[in-house]
Amino acid sequence: MLSVVPDPASGDNDRPVAGEASLIDQIVCEGARRMLAEALPDVLARCLAEGR
């Protein structure tokens, strides 16, 4: 994931540090995780039914 590393000399310490996800990144990741977790059983059942 692309992150911005603030320059401590500039006094700009409000921006995310490498390795820290912003709140919006955390929300998006959680939403994606939930959608995948919900879809996985249906996809697996479909694949098994088709003999894949």
What local confidence, expressed as pLDDT, does residue 42 receive? 95
For 5-43, the DSSP string reads ---GGGT--SSPPTT---HHHHHHHHHHHHHHHHHHHHH
* Residue 39 belongs to a domain: yes
* Residue 48 belongs to a domain: yes
* Residue 1 belongs to a domain: no
1-11 mean pLDDT: 59
- For residue 44, the enclosing domain spans 21-52
**Mean of the per-residue pLDDT values of the chain:** 80
* Residue 51 belongs to a domain: yes
* Residue 40 belongs to a domain: yes
Confidence (pTM): 0.52
CB atoms inside a 10 Å sphere around CB 7: 10
* Residue 25 belongs to a domain: yes
* Residue 2 belongs to a domain: no
Burial class, 20, CB count within 10 angstroms (exposed 0-12 / middle 13-18 / buried 19+): exposed
Question: Count of domains in the chain?
Answer: 1
Tokens for 41, please give them: 């059983």
* Residue 8 belongs to a domain: no
